[in-house]
Structure 1
Amino acid sequence: MSRLFRDVDGGRRCPHGSVVCIGAFDGLHLGHRALVRRAVERARTLGVPAVALSFEPLPREFFAPGNPPPRLLSPRAKAEGLLALGADKVGLLRFDARMASMTAADFVRDVLVGHLGVREVWVGPEFRFGKGRVGDLALLQAIGRELADTGQGFTAHQIEPVLLDGERVSSTRIRAALGAGDFDAAARMLGRPFAIGGRVARGARLGRTLGFPTANLRFHGKAPPLAGIHAVRVHGLGGAPLSGVSSLGTRPTVDGTELLLETHLFDFDGDLYGRRIEVEFVAHLRDEEKFDDLPTLVAQMHRDAEQARTILLQDPTRARA
């Protein structure tokens, strides 16, 4: 992905200037989309690149490594989504000790001005940045005016909040909806059904032994804000999505420890190892639980599969937004 960058060392990346939008962009929900599209629109008007700037890991993950917040999107999916929204370049800046200690003023001068030649900055409501999170829209505007006489001045702007049911759309609200199994509410705020994507990894093949072969996705420390057994649709394996049932958890019955998303596809028999798929969550069936033995687990898996089939057949035409 040549338009993706992680560091800001070296010379100016945008020699003729840029329009930059900044945010965590976890989920790329309706508010994020409005922000990115505004920046892209302004960049096209000015004839300069649109740059979407974020951080990986997210600052909250860096400061709480033992208890990171749930993630709505993987870094790859976030970068791909930002590019799809029209960003010409995407910066997923390494948030490390050096970045954490950078003052807000230094971030503006070194990163936005020095590296990106920013002409306009666009941020969302309640935006904060820099060491101690003291940077805000007012600081951006003040530094932009201060640099005007040097020819490096810029303007800073904040988009209006995107509201749904009278409340601001936010990643926090979406995480809460997903945790409660309210996938319709989450989809309305995201602008699309919630899905987890990734490359299918090899597992222990226990599911195949039990009569339920699964396509397994790993999370590499970035856990989603939901768990349990779900009715799902899987995209990426042909023209139409495939129905299935998923288990998202640590498999306590077999003393598992790694968080996995295991998806059993109905009426499908094939090796999916290495394929990229997207698992769309349709309905929460039950929480994960530990069973006394494998036969009891298998009996419950059959009940889960039957319930998932029933739910999915009741809504066979649901499409991606």
Structure 2
Amino acid sequence: MKKTILIFIILIILIGEIYSDSDVNYFKIKEVYDNALENYSIYPDLGPISVSVVDYQSKNAYLFFKKKGILMKVFFNNSSEEVILFNIYNKYISEDDIGNIIALRNNIIVFSKKDKKLYIFSNNGGLKNIIKYGNTFNDIKYILPYKNEKLLIINNSNKIYLIDIKGKIISNTDIIKNLKINVASIIKYTIENDYFYYLSSDNKIYRYSIKTGENKKELDWFPNRIIDFSIDSNNNLFISYSDGKKLKVAYVSYTNKIVKVFYELLLDEIFEINVRLLNVNDHILIIGNRGYRIYKVNKIINE
């Protein structure tokens, strides 16, 4: 009798573990196409968008049209979309110099790999400062905006530097290296508050704490290949992914195992590479080659 009860208990535990494991690998798909769409803007005369970034406070998005040298600032005033354009090409910087663009609250930093300089512009396009970093930051891999007008620099040796917009090093550390994060495995990344989020080559999204060095999985399983992701200030996760036939953009609630797909298009490798996601205030922008779509976050989540 005791053996029978023991076997019965073991079976219950095993069945529970099986269902628990299978529940982890399950998402309910809900489709809410275009219900939250607010606007669709396209700028064919400016050429393709080569860089798209959001500032640290997620108040403004900046889209760079490399062919024309036009930087477009997109922001929302009482939920109304507004756009400002300015040209960043001048006697100091040309098309071939652009390595990356980083947006802070009051400044835009253009990173030049060619001459090893950081060009500091005001958010209205005026050149304010030029930082000659030379060999100080060898093999720069990532430059990220950080709070209080600072930049977080990560090089290929996993070294982290924190500098101000005058080029002064505030601190440096190798805590990423100590945590054995493979920088080469990072496919996409973003920063929100004190967290560095990144999509790894294992199709998982991680959250790395800049303050403590703690590294956690934000999304540890998804059935399809993730192409890009964005996380807003309320920790809402948005991803674009491929189901083999279409590219889809969705809000993911990992706790509730729900994926709300609100945009899709037929899979095209050329277009897929250029689809990017940015959260600005309470909106999410889906950015393509020559324009963007604007969605209201609350409408997507509460639909």
The structure in which a higher percent of residues are strand is 2
**TM-score in same-fold range (> 0.5):** no
TM, length-normalised to structure 2: 0.26
